[in-house]
Amino acid sequence: MKKRHFLRTALSVLALAATGVHAPQVLAAEKPFKVGLIVPMTGAFASTGRQLYSAVQAFTKEHGDTVAGRKVQVILKDDGGIAANSRKLAQELIVNDKVDVIAGFGLTPITLAVAPIATESKTPMVLMAAQTQANTEASPFMVRSSGTITQVTSGIAQWAVDNGIKTAVTLVPDYAPGYESEEAFKKYFLASGGKILDEIRVPMRNPDFAPFLQRVRDVKPDALFVMLPSGPGAALLKQYGQRGLAEAGIKLIGHGAITDDDNLNEAGDAALGVITSDYYATSHDSELNRKFIDLYKSVDSTSRPNFFGVAGYDGMRLIYEALKATDGKGEGMALVDAMKTLSFESPRGPVRVDPESRDFVQNIYMRKVEKVGDEYQNVEFDVIENVNAAGEKK
Amino acid sequence: MLTILFDGVAYGMLLFVLAIGLSVTLGLMNFINLAHGAFAMAGGYVTVLLMRHYGVPFLLCVPIAFVVTAAMGAVLERILYRAMYDKPALDQVLFSIGLAFIAVTIVDYSIGSSEQIIQLPQWLRGRTELVFGDHVLAMGHYRLLIIAVCIALTFVLQYILTRTRFGSRLRAAVDDQRVADGLGINVNVIFLSTFAVGSGLAGVGGALGSEVLGLDPTFPFKFMIYFLIVVAIGGTSSLSGPLLASLILGIADVTGKYYMPKLGSFIVYAVMIVILLWRPEGLFVKRGAR
């Protein structure tokens, strides 16, 4: 194996020498710019992968596949949401396919598994999904195009304080992103004089919420703060209605994940009136967003873009703009440095990369679920402008 | 307090319907069917798809789920399971868990991995409150329905097993297959129909349970442990064993989560360990039974 590799290298050196001195430069200019997209297209998190991939396709459809004279090629890899796969795929993409950027990454464990590879190989890593705040610390080559749990949660905590909610119970899943959301909510809610009556962590694998919700009802807080993935989120919303928590005067507020635009329509009436915060809603009222939705639907007519969709779209934009800024020559840290200075108008509103955290400083919107025509939508009614990854106003 | 008890009973009843089919195949036919949860999942998906795409009312979906999963059970019994009856336990376990994996992947591929949500009719969404002095008993209508269906099923099953000719033939076929065969009992048909009914019951459990337990392609594995705990604690020699085990489990789970949410789902396992230490054979074992 080693011998063969040596032979091949020797041969190619000879070949290069034979074709003359100018050949390498010509090759460099024509070499396509490769983006390795690692997302879960199958398994429990397939909806994340579908959103990201559709949005990436939507972006290339709109902006073409040539930037600063270089052809951009996206290589899709499905990791099934399993970190060991992602690590292997990232290695293959970098070593065999020689990709210039790796992107995607649906979950925090996946991000943490791949980050060291990005650092070692000096490959820029565009994180399009996993929202644990500390993720970007894992590699100086990582830039995130979604948002952080802390950033999103700070919005609803602030709203709760401003709207006369004095006591709250938190309900989050028993894993790291859940804790982060709980922490963030507590931090902003307690600082403003609010009181947390109980902190409930629910197991991920057994989603009968009956006992937990009964407990909340008996504790009688002003509001119940919830952060859950959208599937169990919808189940919780339904039981919240059935158990009569609303009649008992307990408001349901939450992280935008529970009213995920991708399957809000299936949750139906149960979600009506729920107030959440997030950085993007399909219903966001702007020309750019309407254009984005049309593009997205032309790629995938069966769904509508959610907070992951817009992050996939903006992630590609980061790559394109950075490549343009470096005249198509950017690679490694130069590309990351170019990304750090970017700011642009996204379908979600204005965003700016914070060079410190390599996360977006962006608007966090307050939304309420309403029925608009035939569809259920998160309708934005307030905004907290320019929030950084730690949930602070900048 | 009463409300928690009520929720626990409803949860336990649901577990009972889900697990009783397994108890029947394991206890009566001596076959370890780890794919049992896959039939429950099939029942759930039948309900979801019928309601969403054909607008079939929920209450009609439940019997349809029974029929469809029973038919699936019958077909699979005939072409796959029958060959496995005489095989050692390990073969049976490997075979049936393989089936469960296949089922998970088929559903994942054809329907998608996201959690399915059903919309209950309005009259099932409400709840009724009864006040006894200081105590309030709040009963969700849907949970009342679950309890009613489960009680009805228990009586029907008990009647069939102990009072009908089919029941006695089944018990005869189980006790000694060759003699039963010699007496003119068609053992194959008996086993086929028993397996089908067991699968159908799982389907009913899945249909009723998708609202409470959630439904996604990993359902067979998520709840396999619970089924096995029910069967392990309840024993397989009667219906009352699994019923009591399900109720204990349901109530322990719900009260545990209510009073000690930090411990979460651990309570169930603690209860199982204690009971099995106390009675390693399960709660109910007939003296002299196999």
Q: Give the residue on B whose Cα is nearest the Cα of A45.
A: B113
Return the residue in A266, A269, A300 with the most chain B beta carbons within 10 A, the one to mutate for interface testing: A266
Q: With 80 as the cut, is the pLDDT of residue A267 above it? A: no
| Residue B209 forms part of a structural domain | yes
| Residue B124 forms part of a structural domain | yes
Range of the domain at B194: 2-278
**Tens digits of residue pLDDT in B124-158:** 877 888 888 777 788 888 889 999 998 998 899 88
| Residue B7 forms part of a structural domain | yes
Q: Which CATH superfamily is domain A150-278+364-387 in?
A: Response regulator (3.40.50.2300)
Q: Which of A225-239, A245-259, A357-371 has the lowest mean pLDDT?
A: A225-239
The pLDDT value given to residue B285? 65
Percentages (nearest 5) of helix, strand, coil residues in chain A: 45, 25, 30
Cβ contact, residue pair B212, A238, below 8 Å: no
Give mean pLDDT, residues B72-85.
90
The dihedral formed by the CA atoms of A264, A267, A271 and A277, expressed in degrees to the nearest 10: -30
Cβ contact, residue pair B216, A231, below 8 Å: yes
Question: Could you tell me how far CA A99 lies from the centroid of its own chain?
Answer: 22
| Residue B222 forms part of a structural domain | yes
C-alpha triplet B37, A303, A256: angle, nearest 5°: 80
pLDDT band at A295 (very low <50, low <70, confident <90, very high): very high
Out of B109, B262, B265, the one facing A206 most closely (by C-beta) is B265
| Residue B174 forms part of a structural domain | yes
Copy the structure tokens of residue B127.
């709840």
Nearest residue to A144 via CA among A115, A169, A186:
A115
Rounded Cα distance, A227 and A305, in Å: 20
Nearest residue to B16 via CA among B267, B236, B227:
B227
Rounded Cα distance, A78 and A86, in Å: 8
B128 versus A150: the higher-pLDDT residue is: A150
Q: With 90 as the cut, is the pLDDT of residue B256 above it? A: no
Cβ contact, residue pair A234, B115, below 8 Å: yes
Nearest residue to B211 via CA among B107, B112, B110, B125:
B125
The pLDDT value given to residue A26? 45
The pLDDT value given to residue A206? 61
The pLDDT value given to residue A21? 44
| Residue B284 forms part of a structural domain | no
Q: With 50 as the cut, is the pLDDT of residue B288 above it? A: no
Chain B residue set in contact with A, beta carbons under 8 Å: 3-4, 7, 11, 108-109, 112-117, 119-120, 125-127, 138, 140, 142-143, 211-214, 216-218, 222, 253-258, 261-262, 264-265
Give mean pLDDT, residues A176-185.
90
**Tens digits of residue pLDDT in A46-103:** 888 999 999 999 999 999 988 888 899 999 999 988 899 999 999 999 999 999 999 9
Cβ-based contacts of B7 with chain A (< 8 Å): 210-211, 214
Nearest residue to B23 via CA among B166, B164, B233:
B233
pLDDT band at A121 (very low <50, low <70, confident <90, very high): very high
Pick the most confident of A155-169, B107-121, B211-225: A155-169
pLDDT band at A153 (very low <50, low <70, confident <90, very high): very high
Cβ-based contacts of B225 with chain A (< 8 Å): none
Cβ contact, residue pair A203, B211, below 8 Å: no
Give mean pLDDT, residues B262-270.
80
**Domain regions of chain A by residue span:** 31-147+286-355, 150-278+364-387
Rounded Cα distance, A124 and A335, in Å: 7
Rounded Cα distance, A103 and B44, in Å: 36
ipTM of the complex: 0.78
Q: With 90 as the cut, is the pLDDT of residue B75 above it? A: yes
Nearest residue to B271 via CA among B288, B287, B241, B249:
B249
Rounded Cα distance, A28 and A329, in Å: 9
The pLDDT value given to residue A57? 94
Q: With 80 as the cut, is the pLDDT of residue B30 above it? A: no
Which CATH number characterizes residue B201's domain?
A: 1.10.3470
| Residue B289 forms part of a structural domain | no
pLDDT band at A248 (very low <50, low <70, confident <90, very high): confident
pLDDT band at B67 (very low <50, low <70, confident <90, very high): very high
Cβ contact, residue pair A202, B261, below 8 Å: yes
Percentages (nearest 5) of helix, strand, coil residues in chain B: 75, 5, 20
Q: Give the residue on B whose Cα is nearest the Cα of A213.
A: B258
Please tell me the total count of domains within chain B: 1
**Tens digits of residue pLDDT in A188-204:** 899 888 899 999 988 87
| Burial call A227-251: b when 16+ CB within 10 Å, e when fewer | bbbbbbbbbbbbbbbbbbbeeeebb
pLDDT band at A9 (very low <50, low <70, confident <90, very high): low
Average predicted confidence (pLDDT) for chain A: 87
Angstroms from B45 CA to nearest CA on chain A: 15
Say what percent of chain A tops pLDDT 70: 91
**Tens digits of residue pLDDT in B169-210:** 888 887 788 888 888 888 888 889 889 998 999 999 999 988
The pLDDT value given to residue A4? 57
Angstroms from A190 CA to nearest CA on chain B: 21
CATH of domain A31-147+286-355: 3.40.50.2300
Query: CB-side exposure of A65: number of CA atoms within 13 Å?
Result: 13
Cβ contact, residue pair A205, B265, below 8 Å: yes
**Tens digits of residue pLDDT in A11-58:** 555 454 444 444 444 445 568 999 999 999 887 788 889 999 999 999
Chain A residue set in contact with B, beta carbons under 8 Å: 42-47, 174, 198, 200-203, 205-208, 210-212, 214-215, 230-232, 234-235, 238, 241-244, 263, 266-269
Give mean pLDDT, residues B36-43.
93
Non-local (6+) Cβ contacts of B261 within 8 A are: A198, A200, A201, A202, A211, A212, A215
Q: Which of A185-189, B20-24, B55-59, B70-74 has the lowest mean pLDDT?
A: B20-24
The pLDDT value given to residue B169? 87
Average predicted confidence (pLDDT) for chain B: 86
| Residue B290 forms part of a structural domain | no
Angstroms from B40 CA to nearest CA on chain A: 16
Cβ-based contacts of A206 with chain B (< 8 Å): 213, 222, 253, 264-265
Non-local (6+) Cβ contacts of A358 within 8 A are: A136, A142, A143, A144, A336, A339, A340
The pLDDT value given to residue A2? 54
The pLDDT value given to residue A316? 95
In the block, which residue shows the tokens 């600082």?
A191
Q: Give the residue on A whose Cα is nearest the Cα of B126.
A: A242
The pLDDT value given to residue B131? 81
